[in-house]
Amino acid sequence: MAHVQDLEITCETVAKESSLECGLAGAVAAVSGLKGSTIILHSPPGCGWTARWARSDFAINNYVPLVPDNLLQHNLIFGASQKLYDSARWAMERWKPKQLFLMAGCAGSLIADPMNEIATEMEKKYGSPVIVLDRAGFRGMVATGMDETFAEILGRLTADGGGEKDPDSVNIVAPYLMGSSNWVYDLEEIRGLLEAIGLKVNCILTFNTTLEQLREFPRASADIYLTWEDFPQMREYEKRHDIVRLGQDLPLPIGAANTDQWYMSLARHFGKEAEAQRVMREQVASLRYLKFHYNATWVSTWIANKYAAVIGPAIWAASYARFLYYDMAAYPSVIALYGETQESIETAKEVLKDLTGYYDSLILENPLYIQVVKALNERNPEFVVGQTQDKSLVEGNGFPHITMSGLQTILGGYNFMPYPSVGIKGILRQFEALGHVVEKTFHEPRKWAALAHHGREPRPEKGPLF
């Protein structure tokens, strides 16, 4: 059985030490996927950088102007209504958005400027919807900000939607939170897999989404989530519009075993198992040449029976650990799970139950990075698969690291080729990434010698090779 390390960690601590962003970042990410939008940030300059990072991945397909009004110290005392008004007016005249969003960060929320009154005036003057979003970080983190923003967007902008339900139509929700550093291209593969069995994707909430697609959202019979975070506001919306929620008890389709479980479960719900089996057979057949590809057999041999650690958002880390175990015959010795809501952590542990019934993984729940390092030194894995922000820490402690989780376009993703890392096709990208990290391990003789016994002997002190 797995050993679960229970930790008392506050949201504030986790936000500082992990990949979790604040509620404002979640709101910016949600809006950045909606075409024709412009964002005004009523916040200090630092929030602008947080927001730009959250927006960056969406700019691959859809650029959303983001204008911070840069609150300063005196604004927090005397208010900044005029600054907000001038910024909104400039954005309306310069960008002519289909919808304008006025977002308050922590400081903007605390000073209580009349944002709703400014929004009403702007709507009358320019004729476009102006939506106020109070997304202070102290109200919640990235999933909370995204959940509340999705519900607000649907409430304000889908009034003309609806109509009869299409039983074979779905929406894809929260791809940004799936955790993959290749999520933009992974999303396209996921959409293709759904369409290949005859499902229609009405709306992606949100990525490159038009208002017309957004208005089709209520007509879908099901929402397929790519996150295990709770999303209570969306749950209420789904109840009102008779939309079934799917995917929140399934691993992401990383590798063959996860893809089979994810795909067949969804296909079974829609009575399309035969179609899904056909697609899986065709995709597996397309990779059959790997049996005779020397590099592929070499990487497989290298990875088999190695000990690994996985660090990342709960849905991604649990799914990747299963991929390593079931597809690559590697042992996920340490699995560090990060999640805003307890639902995401509990779902991860449930999805990992079959694995941990066979192997004693050390599961960390929202750990501090110092606790991650302690676990790595105790378990002594041969390589680590994680996020950009762990890389320096992990490698500084002598463990090879490959970045496979986190933002796609910021600091370390370097995924320029539009090719997925999910599904059967995505096995090629996973093979390539794992091949690089294991080769790196192999060509570090001191490290290789230290790891040769997989932690059964003490790691030698660092010193001259000879």
pLDDT for 450: 57
| Domain stops at, among 218, 253, 284 | 284
Considering the domain boundaries, does residue 463 fall inside one?
Answer: no
| Domain stops at, among 268, 284, 300 | 284
Q: Are residues 71 and 102 in the same domain?
A: yes
Among candidates 61, 58, 258, which has minimal Cα distance to 175?
58
CA atoms of 29 and 55, how far apart (whole Å)? 5
pLDDT for 49: 81
CA atoms of 256 and 244, how far apart (whole Å)? 26
Edge-to-edge strand ranges of the sheet holding 66-68: 66-68, 37-42, 99-104, 130-134
Considering the domain boundaries, does residue 412 fall inside one?
Answer: yes
| Domain stops at, among 284, 299, 316 | 284
Q: Are residues 293 and 410 in the same domain?
A: yes
CA atoms of 313 and 345, how far apart (whole Å)? 9
Q: Are residues 275 and 292 in the same domain?
A: no
Q: Are residues 295 and 375 in the same domain?
A: yes
Q: Are residues 40 and 57 in the same domain?
A: yes
Q: Are residues 33 and 125 in the same domain?
A: yes
Amino acid at 332: P
CA atoms of 265 and 272, how far apart (whole Å)? 10
Contact 206, 223 (CB under 8 A): no
Considering the domain boundaries, does residue 230 fall inside one?
Answer: yes
pLDDT tens, per residue, the chain with 466 residues: 455 444 444 444 444 444 568 899 999 999 999 999 999 999 988 888 888 888 888 888 889 999 999 888 888 888 889 999 999 999 999 999 999 999 999 998 989 889 999 999 999 999 999 999 999 888 889 999 999 999 999 999 987 555 788 999 999 999 999 999 999 999 999 999 999 999 999 999 999 999 999 999 999 999 999 999 999 999 999 999 999 999 999 999 999 999 999 999 999 999 999 999 999 999 999 999 998 888 888 889 989 999 999 999 999 999 999 999 999 999 999 999 999 999 999 999 999 999 999 999 999 999 998 999 999 999 999 899 999 888 888 888 888 899 999 888 777 778 888 999 999 999 999 999 999 888 877 776 455 445 544 444 555 554 443 3
The sign of the torsion formed by the CA atoms of 258, 263, 269, 274 equals negative
Q: Are residues 225 and 136 in the same domain?
A: no
Considering the domain boundaries, does residue 239 fall inside one?
Answer: yes
Q: Are residues 390 and 319 in the same domain?
A: yes
Considering the domain boundaries, does residue 159 fall inside one?
Answer: no
Q: Are residues 89 and 237 in the same domain?
A: no
Q: Are residues 135 and 280 in the same domain?
A: no
Task: CATH number of the domain at 391, please.
Answer: 3.40.50.1980
Q: How many domains does the chain have?
A: 3
Considering the domain boundaries, does residue 306 fall inside one?
Answer: yes
Q: Are residues 318 and 436 in the same domain?
A: yes
Question: What is the residue range of 386's domain?
Answer: 288-451
Prediction pTM value: 0.90
Considering the domain boundaries, does residue 93 fall inside one?
Answer: yes
pLDDT for 46: 85
